[in-house]
C-alpha cells in the first residue's frame, strides 16, 4: 500500500539540457538575450540541487530546433497516477510534446493525450492537496483547460479552472505551493481571490518573479536575485535554497519550468 504523502514529495524528475538556441527563447519584453553558458550553469545547479533534495534526475538531450525546450514543464503534466501530454499554446513550442512523449511512455503506465481542440501549458497548472488548479492564460484557453480538467479527473484528481491575472505568462509565474496550507503569491494574483482554501504569503513589491519558487521535499528553491523573499521565507521557518535564475529570467522562466516532478511508486 502506498503511504499518504504531500503533493510536494517527489522522488523523480525529468529535465532537458538547454540547446544553444535557448538564447532565442520566447519573451514578452526584450531585456537582452541570455547567454547559453549562463543558462547551462543555472541548469546544472538546478540538477545538483534536485539531487541534494533526494530526487532521481532523468536528463534528456538538448533540442536545437526548440529554443524553449529546456522548460519541460510546459508540454506535459505528470502525477504518480499517470502522465498527460499537453498542447503548448505558443506555436514554436507545439512540437515539444512529440519530443517528450517516448520518455513518458517509457516511464508511465498511463499516458493520456489532451483531446483536441484547445491548448494547455503545464506552467498554468498548480497541484495542491485540495485540487489541481488550471489557470486560463494566453497559453491555456478555455477549451484546453476543460479538456485537461477531464484528463486530470480521469487520473482520480480534482481539477479547478481559475483565472490568471492579465499580462502574466503562466498561472505559476505568479505563485507556488509552499506546503499543505500556504501558497506564495504575488499581490495581484492574491487579490483575485483564487486561493480561498490557503493562507497567502505575499511576495514583497518589486520581487514578483520570485513567486515562481519550488517546494521539493524539505526545501523551497527561490531565485537568488530576490533577497527580501528569501529573508521572508527564512523567517517563516522554510529551508530556503537560493538558486540563480538571472539568465532564464530573461526568457520569462523560473524554477518550476525546468522540470517535470512526481513521486514514482516502486522507487
Ligand atoms: C516561454 O515563453 O514559453 C518560455 N520562454 C518560458 C516558459 C516558462 N515556463 C513556465 O513558466 N512553465
Q: What is the pLDDT of residues 189-211, one digit of tens each?
A: 999 999 999 999 999 999 999 99
Helix (H) or strand (E) holding 14: strand 12-16
- Give pLDDT, residue 4: 60
- Give pLDDT, residue 21: 98
* Catalytic one of 43, 151, 175, 257: 257
pLDDT > 70: percent of the chain: 99
16 C-alpha to center of ligand 1: Å?
A: 14
Looking at ligand 1, which atom is closest to the CA of residue 253?
Answer: 8
Could you report the per-residue pLDDT of 127-155, keeping only the tens digit for each?
999 999 999 999 999 999 999 999 999 99
232 pLDDT above the threshold of 50: yes
Enumerate residues 6+ apart whose C-beta is below 8 A from 232.
201, 204
As a whole number, the mean pLDDT across the chain is 97
Note if 257 is an active site residue: yes
Q: Whose CA is nearest to atom 8 of ligand 1?
A: 253
Give the β-pairing of 175-177 and 214-216: unpaired
Could you report the per-residue pLDDT of 73-84, keeping only the tens digit for each?
999 999 999 999
Where does ligand 1 bind, in terms of residues with CB under 6 Å?
A: 25-27, 68, 71, 73-74, 90, 93, 122-123, 170, 172-173, 251-253, 256-257
Enumerate residues 6+ apart whose C-beta is below 8 A from 137.
89, 121, 124, 164, 168, 169, 170, 171
Instruction: Report yes or no on whether pTM surpasses 0.95.
Output: yes
Rounded to the nearest 10°, the torsion over CA 207, 134, 179, 227 is: -10
Looking at ligand 1, which atom is closest to the CA of residue 256?
Answer: 12
Mean pLDDT in residue range 35-46: 98
* Catalytic one of 43, 151, 170, 175: 170
pLDDT > 90: percent of the chain: 97
71 C-alpha to center of ligand 1: Å?
A: 6
- Give pLDDT, residue 195: 98
36 pLDDT above the threshold of 60: yes
- Give pLDDT, residue 1: 39
25 C-alpha to center of ligand 1: Å?
A: 9
Mean pLDDT in residue range 12-22: 98
Residue 185 pLDDT class (50, 70, 90 cuts) = very high
101 pLDDT above the threshold of 80: yes
45 C-alpha to center of ligand 1: Å?
A: 19
- Give pLDDT, residue 267: 80
Q: Residue 120 and residue 50: Cα distance in Å, rounded?
A: 26
Architecture of the domain defined by 12-262: 5-stranded Propeller (3.75)
Amino acid at each position: 500500500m502506498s503511504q499518504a504523502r504531500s503533493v510536494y514529495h517527489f522522488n523523480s524528475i525529468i529535465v532537458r539540457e538547454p540547446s544553444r538556441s535557448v538564447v532565442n527563447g520566447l519573451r514578452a519584453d526584450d531585456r537582452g538575450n541570455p547567454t547559453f553558458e549562463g543558462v547551462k550553469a543555472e541548469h546544472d545547479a538546478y540538477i545538483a540541487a534536485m539531487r541534494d533534495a533526494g530526487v532521481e534526475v532523468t536528463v534528456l538531450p538538448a533540442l536545437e530546433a526548440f529554443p524553449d525546450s529546456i522548460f519541460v514543464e510546459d508540454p506535459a503534466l505528470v502525477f504518480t497516477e499517470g502522465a498527460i501530454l499537453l498542447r503548448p499554446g505558443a506555436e514554436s513550442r507545439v512540437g515539444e510534446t512529440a519530443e517528450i512523449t517516448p520518455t513518458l511512455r517509457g516511464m508511465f503506465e498511463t499516458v493520456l493525450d489532451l483531446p483536441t481542440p484547445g491548448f494547455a501549458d503545464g506552467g498554468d497548472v498548480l497541484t495542491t492537496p485540495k485540487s489541481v488548479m488550471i489557470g486560463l492564460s494566453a497559453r491555456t484557453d478555455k477549451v484546453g483547460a476543460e479538456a485537461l480538467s477531464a484528463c486530470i479527473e480521469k487520473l482520480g484528481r480534482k481539477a479547478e479552472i481559475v483565472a490568471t491575472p492579465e499580462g502574466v505568462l503562466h498561472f505559476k509565474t505568479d505563485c507556488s505551493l509552499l506546503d499543505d496550507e500556504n501558497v506564495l503569491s504575488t499581490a495581484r494574483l492574491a487579490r483575485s481571490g483564487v486561493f480561498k482554501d490557503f493562507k497567502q504569503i505575499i511576495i514583497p513589491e518589486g520581487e514578483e518573479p520570485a513567486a515562481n519558487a519550488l517546494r521539493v521535499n524539505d526545501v523551497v528553491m527561490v531565485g537568488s536575485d530576490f533577497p527580501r523573499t528569501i529573508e521572508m521565507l527564512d523567517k517563516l521557518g522554510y529551508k530556503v535554497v537560493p538558486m540563480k535564475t538571472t539568465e532564464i529570467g530573461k526568457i520569462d522562466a523560473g524554477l518550476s519550468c525546468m522540470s517535470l516532478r512526481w513521486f514514482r511508486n516502486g522507487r
